[in-house]
Amino acid sequence: MGVATRKRRKTTTDPTLPRARQMLGKYRIERRLATGPRATVFRAYDTIHGIRVALKIAEPALMSDEFLDEFRREARLAVRMEHPNILPIQNASFIDGLFVIAMPLGEETLGDRMTRRMSTRRALDFTAQALDAVAHAHSRNIIHCDVKPENFILFDDNRLKLTDFGFSKVMIRPGQKGSGSGTVGYLAPEQALGRPMFQSDVFSLGLVIYRLFSGTLPEWPYKWPPAGYPRIRAKLRPRMLSWLRKAIEFKPQDRFRNAVAMQRAFDEIHVK
């Protein structure tokens, strides 16, 4: 029996990631911002529009048709989900054999911001914005599949924007199979088994919010109360604690059915 292989995209030369001060189309590369297994993000200067942008460049060694389909999907999903709390894509194209996605350049990630002191009021504001972003995706039948602090980009007006829809799935029917892709530490148990669902994003978002208030990330087997509970109990009302506990229940059926329901419950707590 033959071994199945993924078809590599053919290029006349083997593309390599750009270096600082190098031109890539109209963009002048300034510095590398982040490196992951699938892509590298650079800060660059758009020499035509005169603005700085973030360039997400797919890893050249992984440029198979299947891999590039993920990046195309990310670009198309972002266009579908125009929202104040979702990072828009300015352009997506092949430049010098590289697949490049251009996006607005933020100040830092929510993960970076979590390393410094933060008031409870600010943390609640970030919670509301994160809920807005994920609920908007869910309202359009899209499961993000990689909700984590590093995928929320913070801008200078304290506006959070959710990014990186490369792993996202369009929910067609309940229980459909998917991959176990995501980030260890924020991955819901059922998603790790290849069964992503709306409740998986709820779980990941709950972990992000718990860490936002406690400074601690709950760990397997996610028994309540997790580490850091005394600190979070001093900041939040009992109803808010119950809301957060429901979000990170081990069984998906015990959580909010999606981020829309999670957001509605959050709003009810803060209106009363």
pLDDT at 149 over 60: yes
Angle between helices 198-214 and 259-271 (to 10 degrees): 40
pLDDT of 2 above 70: no
Query: What's the pLDDT at 184?
Result: 82
pLDDT at 250 over 70: yes
Q: What is the DSSP string of the chain?
A: -PPP-PPBPP-SS------TT-EETTEEEEEEEEE-SSEEEEEEEETTTTEEEEEEEE-GGG-BHHHHHHHHHHHHHHHHT--TTBPPP-EEEEETTEEEEEEE--SEEHHHHTTS---HHHHHHHHHHHHHHHHHHHHTTEE-S---GGGEEE-TTS-EEE---TT-EE--STT------S-TTT--HHHHTT---HHHHHHHHHHHHHHHHHS----TT-PSS-TTHHHHHTTS-HHHHHHHHHHT-SSGGGS-SSHHHHHHHHHHHHH-
Q: Which residue has the tokens 């959050």?
A: 266
Identify the CATH number of the domain in which residue 260 sits: 1.10.510.10
Task: Give yes or no for residue 189 having a pLDDT over 60.
Answer: yes
Confidence of residue 193 (pLDDT cuts 50, 70, 90): very high
Does residue 5 lie within any of the structural domains?
Answer: no
Q: Give residue 171's pLDDT.
A: 58
Give residue 124's pLDDT band: very low, low, confident or very high (50, 70, 90): very high
| Residue 181 backbone class (left: φ over 0; alpha: ψ -120 to 50; beta: rest) | beta
Residues 218 and 187 in one domain: yes
Q: Which residue has the higher pLDDT, 172 or 200?
A: 200
Q: What is the pTM of this model?
A: 0.87
Residues 143 and 172 in one domain: yes
- For residues 128 and 244, state if they share a domain: yes
Q: How much is the pLDDT for 44?
A: 98
Q: How many domains does the chain have?
A: 2
Looking at residue 61, its pLDDT comes to 85
- Range 141-161 average pLDDT: 95
- At 100, which CATH number? 3.30.200.20
Same domain, 53 and 173: no
Q: Which domain holds residue 165?
A: 108-271
CB distance 80 to 140 below 8 Å? yes
Residue appearing with tokens 């990631």: 17
User: Bridge partners of 72?
Assistant: none
Instruction: Name which residue leads in pLDDT, 79 or 161.
Output: 161
Q: What is the pLDDT of residue 40?
A: 93
Does 99 share its domain with 156?
Answer: no
Which among 36, 70, 104 is the end of a domain? 104
Q: Residue 2 domain-assigned?
A: no
Residues 164 and 60 placed together within one structural domain of the fold? no
Note whether 77 and 202 are same-domain residues: no
Q: Is residue 197 part of a domain?
A: yes
| Catalytic residue numbers, as ranges | 146
Which has the minimum average pLDDT: 11-20, 113-122, 207-216, 241-250?
Answer: 11-20
Same domain, 168 and 265: yes
Question: Looking at the predicted structure, is the pLDDT value of residue 14 above 60?
Answer: no
Q: Does 126 share its domain with 96?
A: no
* pLDDT confidence of residue 272: 55
Average pLDDT over residues 83-89: 94
Tens of pLDDT, residue by residue over 195-222, are: 999 999 999 999 999 999 999 999 988 8
pLDDT greater than 90 at residue 271 = no
